[in-house]
Amino acid sequence: MSDENVFDMKTSKPVNFRKYMKAGISILLLIILLITILNSMMITKEGEYKVVRQFGEVVDVEGEPGLHFKIPFIQTTTTLPNKNMSYDMEEQEINTLDKKRIIIDNYAVWRITDPTRMINTAKTVVGAQSRMGEFIFSTVRTELGQMNYEEIINDEKSSRSDLNIRITERVNELLSDYGAEVKDVRIKRTDLPEANEQSVYTRMISERESTAQEYLSRGEAEKSRIMAETDRRVQEMLSKARADAEQIRAEGEQEAAQIYNEAFSKDPEFYRLYRTLESYKTTVDDQTTIIIPHDSPYARTLLGYFGE
């Protein structure tokens, strides 16, 4: 046998297993310690709650942002939102006071006010929203069931602002045991089922046409009143103007007659001549044949005899 294939057992060094075992145990303990430290830490962010539970029971709630600690492996944490949230409900059908079926679409703004109570009753945010949706639908159905359809959709007759307040207050009463509070409940949309839509639209058009005709009738009546009042005032003004004109004319004629009298009294002969000439205007034209005595006033005037 060759010397090259001979292995000398006396010259090899034994492996130090104890050294490697200690190093492994140290690393393992370090890892366990690191995991323990990390598991005991919890970071609360802005806008959230950290709910600490031990054996299923809530033992602490941290709502302030920052680093907090818990008992590792024994206590667990649940994160809940600490801000306003929007909950959009599914469309639902309800009956109004006048037996109309309508489809309503609601949404609510809400927040968690007591995380401990919410965890103990609703368990999760989804569970709280589910209960809140039931309360909202029940309250809306009750409130709208006491109103006529036209009161709900007509802006002039609607009292939705009061309705929203009543619904919000009632839902908060029902949610008082669930650690949640509704800030506002709003009706986004009200529609009719397709089967009723056309008939209601036809009735609404008829009502609008009736209202328009009423406005037109009122306008015509007001127009007639204004025209009658204007005609009356015009007639009063014309009557007064005629009376004033007659008075002025009479005064003018009186003054003219006085002037004539004063002028003619100064020369009676001229007055007689003037009267005679004035009479010619109505008695003589280009077709007139006059037969009069030669010594009549007409003849004397025509012949130029103005003396005696």
pLDDT tens column, 213-235: 999 999 999 999 999 999 999 99
Q: How many CB atoms lie within 10 A of CB 80?
A: 18
The answer, yes or no, to whether residue 66 has pLDDT greater than 80, is: no
User: Which has the higher per-residue pLDDT, 165 or 14?
Assistant: 165
Q: What helix, strand, coil percent values describe the chain, rounded to 5?
A: 55, 20, 25
Q: What is the pLDDT of residue 197?
A: 60
- Separation CA 277–CA 268 (nearest Å): 14
The answer, yes or no, to whether residue 92 has pLDDT greater than 60, is: yes
- Separation CA 194–CA 214 (nearest Å): 31
Please provide the average confidence, as pLDDT, over all residues in the chain: 80
Which residues, in sequence order, are CB contacts of 281 under 8 Å at separation 6+? Answer: none
CATH numbers and ranges of domains, the chain: 3-81 (no CATH), 85-191 (3.30.479.30), 269-303 (no CATH)
Mean pLDDT computed over 112-132: 88
- Separation CA 181–CA 240 (nearest Å): 78
pTM of the full structure: 0.51
H-type helices in 104-193, by residue range? 115-121, 125-144, 149-153, 160-174
Pairing of strands 75-81, 48-54: antiparallel
Q: 10-19, 38-47, 139-148 — which one is most confidently predicted on average?
A: 139-148
Of residues 169, 164, 172, 171, the one with CA closest to residue 144: 164
Confidence of residue 42 (pLDDT cuts 50, 70, 90): confident
- The burial class, CB within 10 Å (0-12 / 13-18 / 19+), for 235 is exposed
The answer, yes or no, to whether residue 186 has pLDDT greater than 80, is: yes
Q: What is the pLDDT of residue 1?
A: 47
- Separation CA 31–CA 23 (nearest Å): 12
Mean pLDDT computed over 80-103: 85
The answer, yes or no, to whether residue 295 has pLDDT greater than 80, is: no
H-type helices in 175-285, by residue range? 194-265, 268-283
Lowest average pLDDT, out of 117-126, 138-147, 263-272, 290-299, goes to 290-299
Q: What is the pLDDT of residue 234?
A: 92
Of residues 196, 96, 94, the one with CA closest to residue 148: 96
- The amino acid that residue 19 corresponds to is K
